[in-house]
Amino acid sequence: MGEKSYITDAIRNLIGRELDRSVCEIEKGMIRRLAEAALDDNPLYRDCEASRNSRYGGMIAPPGIAWPIIPAKMDWMATQYDFPLKRLLNAGFEKEFFAPIRPGDVLTGILVLADVEEKQGRIGHMVFFHFEVDWSNQHGSRVMKLRQSFIRY
């Protein structure tokens, strides 16, 4: 790049390390409220009896479950690195599901800084922080992975 790097050794040393651990209990009411907020009348998300006869054998959470359980520490971590680039921009959010999330599940999410990269763009020098949260249920089964990126510029 030819310029001074804003990514310090201290930041590089955080890549791949656990930064935070969150625990969230999924309640039937939470699932129903998410479906209502999204105007989604799918019985898998609203009706215990109707969903019992589905291939899932019961009520499951809609994909929107990712939003209310994002660890607050992820946004906080993106602002904690001390360097001259002060502005912060959300650079994208992805979710990947591996198994249904059900009422009564107790999910544990492990937050890591997956990668940090620098780029030069139209707005100048940018540092991208890529976070991941891997969620597992109380049985140790991986249920979801979230990826969130932020740009400091």
Answer whether residue 48 shows pLDDT above 90: no
**Residue 83 in domain:** yes
Residue 22 lies in a domain: yes
Phi, psi of 65 (to 5 degrees): -60, -25
* Among the listed residues 86, 100, 93, 91, the one whose alpha carbon sits nearest the alpha carbon of residue 135: 100
Q: Please indicate, yes or no, if residue 3 is contained in any of the structural domains.
A: no
Instruction: Report the chain's terminal Cα–Cα distance, integer Å.
Output: 16
Q: Residue 128 falls within a domain, yes or no?
A: yes
- pLDDT tens digits, residue range 25-40? 999 999 999 999 999 9
Task: Kindly state whether residue 134 falls inside one of the protein's structural domains.
Answer: yes
Q: How many independent structural domains does the chain possess?
A: 1
Report the CATH number at residue 94. 3.10.129.10
Domain-embedded: residue 53: no
Tokens of 82: 């001390």
pTM of the model: 0.88
Residue 42 forms part of a structural domain: no
d(CA 14, CA 109): 17
Chain segment 111-146, per-residue pLDDT in tens: 999 999 999 988 889 999 999 999 999 999 999 999
Strand partners, 152: 88, 127
Domain extent at residue 103: 9-27+65-152
Task: With respect to residue 2, please indicate whether it lies within any of the assigned structural domains.
Answer: no
